[in-house]
Amino acid sequence: MAVARTRCVAIVGVSGHVIEVECHISNGLPGLHLIGLLDTALNEARDRVRSAVMNSKYGWPDSRITISLFPASLPKRGSQFDLAIAVSLLGAANVIPIERIAEPFFLGELGLDGRLRPVRGILPAVAAAGDAGATKVVVPAANAEEAALVPGVTVLPVGDLRTLVEWLRGPDHDRVPPPGLFGPSADPDDAPPAAAQNGQATASVPDLARPAPDLRDVAGQPLARKALEVCAAGGHNLWMLGPPGTGKTMLAERLPSLLPPLSLDHALEVTAIHSIAGTLPAGRPLLDRAPFVNPHHTATVAAIVGGGTGVPRPGAVSLAHRGVLFLDEAPEFPMAVLDSLRQPLESGTVTVARASGSVTFPARFMLVMAANPCPCAEASDACQCTPTIRRRYLARLSGPLLDRIDVKVAVARSTRTELLADRRFAEPSAVVAERVLAARERAAKRLAPTPWRVNSELPASALHGEFRPSPAAMKPLTTCLDNGALSARGLDRIVRVAWTLADLAAKDQPEVEETSAALAMWLGVGA
Amino acid sequence: MAAKDKLGKDGEQLAVEYLQAGGMQVLDRNWRCREGEIDVVARDGGTLVIVEVKTRSGHSHGSALEAVDRGKLARLRALAGRWLSEWQGERFDSVRIDVIGLEKVGRTFAIRHERGVI
């Protein structure tokens, strides 16, 4: 009777923590005792592991089995510990040499027949294993592509328990285990678990597999298209106000098609979040396009900022990390939800505190809001809402929230002539995306010595220091500031947009043309 | 007698012989009260030993020892008190609960004796 030890990873927030799994088989009445702050899914591991071991034709020890997950103080949830539990048990039962399992990490959920099922959060888990010095990580075959994104770690994809155990018992340690009894990719319903299961039904999932719709489809809104381009180039937040049917939603949905592909670092960040949330599309291990998240207005605060029972899970703001969070019918959202956006908008992260501990998720996203001018949402001339009702409706968007919006655009209903005329000028997304990319590169080059990459990240100190436009360019802004039409914070917002306009126009400095245009974009709705 | 009852009787007889061979004195067998039954009551030096005997015809339904769960152990513990309250003889220093598992292998039995399970 011996103690066997192996390793696994628990996910807390978006980072992985190394978990040691120890198994001790001793005299006593037969039974499996799992200890170490486990949730229900993990307690069920008892039955899954037992069936998997027995169906893999290994005997179940007729003794008292104690399995401890260390550190015991860290709450553990999920089913990714199954494999490590099974392997440590077989080690303690002298089926596998214990020295073979001490070093590698084992991740995966076991099916009752012994097959290895994919789990969520493989990317951050394998990354954590790599950070802990692991050279070999055993993962379910269906997660292999995702796990392979982590550099410096040998990923061993395995299809079932029996194949793995025979490989561990075998003499040929350097040979990669064969795909296994259930084929290389297991079966189709082994796709990573869908978001619907994670209890966050209200946070909509970005559809990353479908090609983004094209900006050319939005005819008759040249101003709004320009605003979208500016926001894409500078990472600015956007507010669109206009009657229904004027294309606000269409415009917002096309914003991702203007954004450049994510850099590898950013893509890994985004993929890790989506891996944990279980929203990775099957067959696309790396998310290299900006995500677009479009929660319904009935979403709760927990669905937006993250939460859930036990250890918090990422919400819509984190799923939109490095991408776009679109709030359609923004005033319909509960005010608590709208105001919960202020922290992530300011810091690029969101901290969710629960009794079991607080977790910080990344949440650096572009906010796009769309609103009808009044709750009745009638065609503008049929609307009978009183000015008070209209004012009250839009007042749901609090001042501090609107303060964080750089570009406001009123989307008006266009006439048939306008629609027809504008069709000739509507450019495809690819053309606009090229300009956006050029502007972003220009900004990145200028900001290279600083920690910021896009104009929206510039702090006020920099805007009044080395990135202050010339006095001549500032003239229209200082005039507005003097006569009270503009606050100091508003001024900063405008200067940021002016820099983006200068980048788009390939100018080294914003001139009076850019600052005036930025002023108009900021006043947009309010004026 | 049904086959399973015969199996149980045979098992209990074997268990008693096994305990006696180990130097224990059997005080009572198949003692019953309203709460249930104790298979074997024995004395091991100064210790009262309450023995549950489980016999299985094979391994297909799990091991014999596995069949003794928490609920069964709790019942045995209560029964030990019942039995003691009726006991008139020499006093005991301590009380222990043992489980003996017997599994039929061919024509003979494999025996496992777990001492002091609670």
CB A385 within 8 A of CB A344: no
A381 touches chain B (CB under 8 A): no
Per-position b or e across A385-413, b if 16+ CB within 10 A of its CB: beeeebeebbebbeeebbebbbbbbbbbb
Is residue B69 domain-resident?
Answer: no
> Which of B52, B59, B114, B117 is most worth mutating to test chain A (most A CB atoms within 10 A of its CB)?
B114
B114 touches chain A (CB under 8 A): yes
In this structure, the answer to whether residues A308 and A171 fall within a common structural domain is: no
Residue B100 pLDDT greater than 90, yes or no:
yes
Residues in chain A closer than 8 A to B63 (CB atoms)? 30, 62
Confidence at residue A194, expressed as pLDDT on a 0 to 100 scale: 39
In this structure, the answer to whether residues A294 and A324 fall within a common structural domain is: yes
Segment A130-185, tens digit of pLDDT: 999 888 999 999 899 889 988 889 999 999 999 999 989 987 666 666 665 555 44
Confidence at residue A175, expressed as pLDDT on a 0 to 100 scale: 62
Return the closest-CA partner of residue A271 out of A122, A108, A118, A109.
Answer: A122
Is residue A451 domain-resident?
Answer: no
In this structure, the answer to whether residues A262 and A330 fall within a common structural domain is: yes
In this structure, the answer to whether residues A110 and A236 fall within a common structural domain is: no
Low-confidence ranges of chain A (pLDDT < 70): 1, 172-212, 310-311, 356, 378-381, 525-527
Domain range holding B96?
3-64+82-114
In this structure, the answer to whether residues A440 and A464 fall within a common structural domain is: no
B41 touches chain A (CB under 8 A): no
- With helix as H, strand as E and coil as C, how does A365-433 read? CEEEEEECCCCCCCCHHHCCCCHHHHHHHHCCCCHHHHCCCCEEEECCCCCHHHHHHHHCCCCCHHHHH
Residues shown for chain B: 118
Is residue A210 domain-resident?
Answer: no
Confidence at residue A200, expressed as pLDDT on a 0 to 100 scale: 36
Is residue A200 domain-resident?
Answer: no
B66 touches chain A (CB under 8 A): yes
Confidence at residue A379, expressed as pLDDT on a 0 to 100 scale: 58
DSSP per-residue string spanning A302-345? HHHHEE-SSS-EE-HHHHTTTSEEEETTGGGS-HHHHHHTHHHH
Is residue A520 domain-resident?
Answer: yes
Q: B87 CA to chain A: closest CA distance, Å?
A: 28
Q: Which residues contact B55 (CB under 8 A, 6 or more apart)?
A: B7, B8, B10, B11, B12, B64, B101, B102, B103, B104, B109
DSSP per-residue string spanning A66-106? EEEEESTTS-B-SSTTHHHHHHHHHHHTTSS-HHHHHSSEE
Q: How does DSSP classify residue A184?
A: T
**Cβ contact, residue pair A30, B65, below 8 Å:** yes
Residues in chain B closer than 8 A to A28 (CB atoms)? 114, 117
Is residue A198 domain-resident?
Answer: no
Task: Give the torsion sign (CA, A131, A137, A143, A145).
Answer: positive
**Cβ contact, residue pair A30, B99, below 8 Å:** no
Q: B54 CA to chain A: closest CA distance, Å?
A: 12
Q: Which neighbouring-strand residues pair with B36?
A: B33
CA dist A247 → A224, A390, A419 (Å): 9, 21, 12
Segment A344-370, tens digit of pLDDT: 998 889 988 877 678 889 999 999 999
Number of domains composing chain B: 1
CATH number at residue B98: 3.40.1350.10
Confidence at residue A187, expressed as pLDDT on a 0 to 100 scale: 44
Residues in chain A closer than 8 A to B72 (CB atoms)? none
Write down the pTM of the prediction.
Answer: 0.78
A28 touches chain B (CB under 8 A): yes
In this structure, the answer to whether residues A132 and A9 fall within a common structural domain is: yes
The one-letter code for the residue type at A444 is A
B74 touches chain A (CB under 8 A): no
Domain range holding A176?
3-193
- What percent of chain B has pLDDT above 90? 58
**Cβ contact, residue pair B65, A27, below 8 Å:** no
Confidence at residue A220, expressed as pLDDT on a 0 to 100 scale: 83
Q: How does DSSP classify residue A135?
A: S
ipTM of the predicted assembly exceeds 0.85: no
- What percent of chain A has pLDDT above 90? 42
Is residue A249 domain-resident?
Answer: yes
In this structure, the answer to whether residues A8 and A125 fall within a common structural domain is: yes
> Which of B59, B60, B63, B96 is most worth mutating to test chain A (most A CB atoms within 10 A of its CB)?
B63
Is residue B71 domain-resident?
Answer: no
CATH number at residue A112: 3.30.230.10
In this structure, the answer to whether residues A424 and A463 fall within a common structural domain is: no
Confidence at residue A453, expressed as pLDDT on a 0 to 100 scale: 87
Is residue B88 domain-resident?
Answer: yes
